[in-house]
């Protein structure tokens, strides 16, 4: 993911994904800035999210968990998910892809916001469960690209058909896996 992000440094409207989004880049002046906000913050959201899976017992480790967690939440709620929503409104692949990315970004924002509320209430189990859902949605950045390779290699579908499929495969299986993990690791704790 870091290598993909570095494709957009230095700032350019003719790099990577933006090459196929020239209509949006040229007709929607804000698109490029929102896209870059999404790319530049999402890489840190992924990093801060991964940190949360380490078990910290020391005071310094717990502090790192808390600081990284608040960075994850802030960057996601303020930038990554809202910019993802905007980009979803302009997604390739027509209505099916747009619906998928819009739902994903709304769920990503909502699961993270609920996780924040749960930690403020000191409901650690519910907080963990909602953060697991949030991070499952965050990992769509990786799983979408994984599924793209698999589908292109196995089925040789036209690019837009592939995109419509991976728009959903990028996050729905992740969320299902998160729910299975939650069910197996909690004692039916109220959410």
pLDDT tier for residue 75 given thresholds of 50, 70 and 90 = very high
> With bands split at pLDDT 50, 70 and 90, how would you rate the model's confidence at 172?
very high
pLDDT value at position 25?
80
Q: Other C-beta atoms within 10 Å of 37: how many?
A: 20
Contact partners, residue 15, CB within 8 Å, separation at least 6: 7, 8
Cα 95 to Cα 164: distance, rounded to the nearest angstrom: 9
Whether 104 and 87 have beta carbons less than 8 Å apart is answered as no
Read off the pLDDT of residues 56-69 as tens digits, 9 standing for 90 and up. Answer: 889 999 999 999 99
Nearest CA among 129, 145, 143 for reference residue 173: 143
Q: What rounded mean pLDDT belongs to the chain? A: 91
* 21/17 Cα distance (integer angstroms): 7
Note the pLDDT tens digit of each residue in 99-141: 999 999 999 999 999 999 999 999 999 999 999 999 999 999 9
pLDDT band at 10 (very low <50, low <70, confident <90, very high): low
DSSP state at residue 91: -
DSSP-derived secondary structure letter, 157: -
Residue 161 to residues 22, 89, 98, 155, 158, Cα–Cα distance (Å): 20, 18, 13, 11, 5
Give pLDDT tens digits for 146-170: 999 999 999 999 999 999 999 999 9
């Amino acid at each position: 993911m870091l290598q993909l992000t570095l494709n957009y440094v230095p700032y350019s409207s003719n790099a990577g994904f933006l090459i196929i989004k020239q209509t949006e880049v040229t007709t929607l002046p804000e698109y490029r800035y929102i896209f870059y906000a999404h790319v530049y913050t999402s890489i840190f959201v992924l990093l801060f999210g991964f940190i949360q899976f380490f078990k910290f017992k020391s005071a310094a480790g717990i502090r790192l968990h808390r600081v990284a967690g608040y960075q994850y939440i802030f960057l996601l709620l303020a930038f990554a998910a809202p910019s993802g929503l905007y980009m979803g409104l302009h997604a390739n692949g027509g209505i099916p892809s747009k619906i998928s990315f819009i739902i994903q970004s709304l769920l990503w924002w909502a699961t993270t916001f609920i996780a924040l509320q749960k930690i403020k209430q000191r409901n650690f189990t519910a907080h963990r469960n909602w953060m697991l859902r949030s991070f499952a949605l965050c990992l769509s950045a990786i799983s979408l690209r994984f599924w793209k390779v698999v589908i292109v290699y196995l089925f040789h579908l036209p690019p837009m058909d592939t995109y419509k499929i991976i728009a959903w495969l990028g996050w729905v299986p992740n969320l299902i896996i998160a729910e299975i993990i939650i069910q197996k690791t909690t004692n039916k704790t109220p959410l």
